[in-house]
Amino acid sequence: MFETIYKTSYGLEYFLISPSQWEILKPLTYECGWTDYDRMQVGLHIMNCGYGILDTEYQKPIDNEYDLDEIYSSVEKMPK
């Protein structure tokens, strides 16, 4: 489902998920041990940049503001 792995400038790897992918994945997160906070984070990512952002190592949303600032900036530069 995740076609591309992206990296921050210091090597943090992450996936981007579209809102339609999130609608498919969201019900599965209840079985994977995600918290309500985790689900809320993906919703905020989508509101802020149009994509959910998941750490590839833990397969959970990234919530570090410094990482997110860099990722949001990168997403803004991506072709639409």
CA dist 11 and 70 (Å) reads: 12
pLDDT at 2 over 80: no
17-47: pLDDT as tens digits: 999 999 999 999 999 999 999 999 999 999 9
Q: Is residue 3 part of a domain?
A: no
Count of structural domains within the chain? 1
pLDDT at residue 3 in the model: 74
Q: Which domain holds residue 47?
A: 15-63
Six token digits for residue 42: 């993906």
Q: Is residue 10 part of a domain?
A: no
pTM of the model as a whole: 0.92
Q: Is residue 4 part of a domain?
A: no
56-71: pLDDT as tens digits: 999 999 999 999 999 9
Helices (H), 5-80: 19-25, 36-49, 65-77
> Mean of the per-residue pLDDT values for the chain?
94
pLDDT at 1 over 60: no
Q: Is residue 25 part of a domain?
A: yes
Q: List strand residue ranges (DSSP E) for the chain, in order.
A: 6-7, 13-17, 52-55
CA dist 59 and 27 (Å) reads: 15
Q: Is residue 32 part of a domain?
A: yes
Q: Is residue 41 part of a domain?
A: yes
